[in-house]
């Protein structure tokens, strides 16, 4: 058993060792490089603060993940802002989790099937996002501790199960699903009697989770600002779930995020999703009780996927890291161990290695990552991320082009997302003059930006900043409720000052929620006019 498992781990290590040459991508820059909790640490910041407490652009999320923060701190404290060691730590966690998955299945089904489970889990390309994206390490940590708790439950060690549960929930909140996972795992392999035998580990797990929940009131957590979804396609969530099912069967080379704005999946995606469901049915037929229980475990572990779909309208492959534990166990416990299945597993492993190899360069830096995202998931969300990255690099023209691409109609006919309409104006002010901006506004209006309340005031303000105060005021006077935004109040105050009505100008400035900011903007426009 040990030799087979070590061989599987060696193959997984060889598949991913190239990740040490990858860089920091997307959230890595904020969460790690620009995070005061890591660069200027205190015990409070590291152990009792919001995960995003000390970043430059986001100060709160509602997430308390101190073990994740400590793992990032270990990278920075030990090696500075060098991404290679951070990637190596993530790979070590993936290898540990893979080994535990092999041990878990081997304990119930023998060493050969344990090695199969380790190979399926460790090499599945859909997990590459969690392995190669440093910011997704919380998924690696949480899954590792969850599998550790399952092993502890099998060994009837309630204290160890509780410690693993506590460590898991301090890595990611989805660990609260662990008692249900333990119950389903015990039922799959022992029925009702198995659940009764797992009672003490279940109690230990619950105590561990309770300790973490009891500590949360003493932690400084920020409020998470949930975005408002603007999706008109009634089948958008169905399409998202089809993509998730397709990834389980065979994830095409897709890096970055897929969203609910992508429209109906391709025929290949539907076929892959059907293959996933068909394969699950075949596995369940081998042992109905075990198969159904393990399938239920997968669904339970995948509940965060549904939450991400509902709240963020995005589908991250990293959310499948924990569910794939159940998928690997279901496959390994059901497939026949013969020459045919061995050849099939070898062929699948070769394809998985090739897919991981194709994906790896996309994680080298932001330019490669966002470029891949717009090629493979071209929607408003991906184009906007590319524009933000180009803007940060000082590439103002390409940034504006990317934001304009983010305004193109989606396949589902959804309106453009608010951030795309806001960002295109910010980029336009850096690239265009007032006449050129005025010429672009009708196209952006046709794209649907004028249906979003903040857009018209921002457009009017942009024109005024570029020197065409009259055009800005024309837009401002067309807004239905001009008193709801400080930008319009400032424009009207400047207009009142020009007409000699100082009292009205002062009243407009005073009506703004932040009068000091309004006065600063007022002075800016007056200076531009002079």
DSSP structural state of residue 316: -
Residue closest to 170 by CA, chosen among 68, 305, 89: 68
How far apart CA 204 and CA 157 sit, in angstroms, is 8
**CA distances (Å), origin 471, targets 87, 431, 456, 467, 478:** 52, 18, 12, 9, 11
How far apart CA 434 and CA 467 sit, in angstroms, is 7
pLDDT band at 481 (very low <50, low <70, confident <90, very high): low
Count up the domains in the chain and report the number. Answer: 1
**Which residues fall within 8 angstroms of residue 489, CB to CB, at 6 or more apart?**
482, 483, 508, 509, 511, 512, 518
pLDDT band at 296 (very low <50, low <70, confident <90, very high): very high
Q: Is residue 510 part of a domain?
A: no
Q: Is residue 385 part of a domain?
A: no
Residue closest to 121 by CA, chosen among 152, 89, 143: 143
Q: Is residue 121 part of a domain?
A: yes
How far apart CA 328 and CA 332 sit, in angstroms, is 6
- 3-class SS of residue 327: helix
Q: Is residue 292 part of a domain?
A: yes
Domain extent at residue 136: 2-363
How far apart CA 302 and CA 189 sit, in angstroms, is 21
**CA distances (Å), origin 478, targets 111, 415, 421, 457, 472:** 73, 21, 18, 10, 10
Q: What are the tens digits of pLDDT across the range 309-339?
A: 777 777 788 999 999 999 999 999 999 989 9
Please check whether residue 180 is in contact with residue 132, taking contact to mean a CB–CB distance below 8 angstroms: no
**Which residues fall within 8 angstroms of residue 451, CB to CB, at 6 or more apart?**
415
| pLDDT computed for residue 193 by the predictor | 92
Q: Is residue 185 part of a domain?
A: yes
Please check whether residue 199 is in contact with residue 161, taking contact to mean a CB–CB distance below 8 angstroms: no
For residue 183, how many C-alpha atoms fall within 13 Å in the half-sphere facing its CB? 12
The lowest-confidence range among 25-29, 178-182, 378-382, 481-485 is: 481-485
Q: Is residue 391 part of a domain?
A: no
Q: What are the tens digits of pLDDT across the range 58-110?
A: 667 788 899 999 999 999 999 988 999 999 999 999 999 999 999 999 999 99
Q: Is residue 196 part of a domain?
A: yes
| pLDDT computed for residue 259 by the predictor | 76
pLDDT band at 224 (very low <50, low <70, confident <90, very high): low
Instruction: Using the predicted structure, report yes or no on whether residue 524 has a pLDDT greater than 80.
Output: no
Produce one character per residue of 379-412: b if its CB has 16 or more CB atoms within 10 Å, e if not.
Answer: bbbbbbbbbbbbbeeeebebbbbbbbbbbeebeb
How far apart CA 130 and CA 356 sit, in angstroms, is 12
Q: Is residue 443 part of a domain?
A: no
Q: What are the tens digits of pLDDT across the range 411-465?
A: 555 556 667 777 888 888 888 888 888 888 888 877 777 766 678 888 887 888 8
How far apart CA 530 and CA 518 sit, in angstroms, is 18
- Count helices and strands in the chain by DSSP H and E runs: 28, 2
């Amino acid at each position: 058993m040990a030799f087979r498992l070590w061989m599987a781990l060696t193959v997984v290590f060889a598949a991913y060792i190239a990740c040490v040459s990858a860089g920091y991508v997307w959230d890595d820059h904020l969460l790690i490089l620009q995070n005061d909790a890591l660069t200027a640490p205190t015990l409070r910041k590291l152990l009792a603060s919001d995960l995003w407490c000390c970043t430059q652009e986001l100060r709160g999320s509602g997430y308390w993940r101190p073990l994740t923060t400590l793992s990032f701190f270990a990278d920075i404290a030990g090696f500075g802002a060098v991404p290679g060691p951070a990637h190596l730590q993530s790979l070590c966690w993936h290898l540990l989790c893979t080994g535990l998955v092999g041990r878990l299945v081997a304990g119930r089904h023998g060493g050969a099937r344990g090695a199969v489970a380790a190979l399926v889990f460790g090499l599945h390309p859909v997990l590459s996002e969690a392995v190669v994206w440093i910011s997704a390490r919380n998924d690696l940590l949480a899954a590792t501790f969850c599998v550790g708790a399952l092993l502890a439950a099998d060994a009837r060690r309630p204290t160890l199960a509780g410690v693993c549960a506590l460590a898991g929930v301090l890595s990611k909140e989805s660990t609260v699903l662990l008692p249900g996972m333990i119950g389903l795992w015990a039922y799959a392999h022992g029925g009702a009697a198995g659940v009764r035998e797992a009672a003490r580990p279940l109690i230990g797990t619950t105590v561990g989770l309770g300790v973490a929940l009891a500590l949360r009131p003493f932690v400084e957590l920020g409020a998470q600002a949930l975005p408002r979804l603007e999706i008109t396609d009634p089948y958008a969530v169905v399409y998202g779930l089809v993509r998730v099912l397709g990834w389980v069967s065979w994830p095409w080379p897709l890096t970055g995020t897929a969203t609910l704005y992508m429209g109906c999946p391709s025929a290949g995606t539907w076929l892959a999703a059907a293959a996933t469901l068909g394969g699950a049915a075949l596995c369940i037929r081998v042992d109905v009780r075990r198969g159904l229980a393990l399938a239920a475990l997968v669904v339970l572990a995948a509940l965060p996927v549904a939450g991400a779909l509902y709240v963020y309208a995005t589908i991250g492959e990293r959310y499948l890291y924990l569910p794939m534990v159940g998928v690997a166990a279901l496959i390994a416990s059901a497939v026949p161990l013969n020459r045919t299945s061995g050849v099939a597993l070898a062929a699948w492993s070769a394809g998985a290695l090739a897919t991981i190899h194709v994906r790896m360069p996309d994680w080298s830096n932001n330019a490669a990552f966002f470029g891949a995202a717009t090629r493979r998931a071209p929607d408003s969300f991906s184009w906007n991320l590319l524009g933000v990255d180009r803007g940060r690099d000082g590439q103002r023209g390409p940034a504006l082009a990317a934001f304009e691409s983010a305004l193109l109609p989606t396949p589902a006919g959804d309106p453009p997302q608010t951030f795309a309409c806001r960002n295109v104006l910010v980029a336009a002010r850096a690239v265009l003059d007032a006449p050129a901006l005025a010429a672009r506004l009708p196209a952006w209006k046709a794209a649907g930006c004028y249906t979003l309340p903040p857009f018209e005031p921002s457009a009017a303000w942009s024109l005024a900043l570029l020197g065409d105060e009259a055009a800005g005021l024309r837009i401002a006077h067309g807004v239905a409720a001009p008193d709801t935004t400080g930008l319009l109040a400032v424009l009207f105050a400047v207009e009142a000052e020009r007409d000699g009505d100082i009292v009205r100008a002062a009243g407009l400035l005073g009506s703004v929620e932040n009068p000091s900011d309004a006065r600063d903007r007022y002075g800016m426009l007056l200076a531009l006019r002079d």
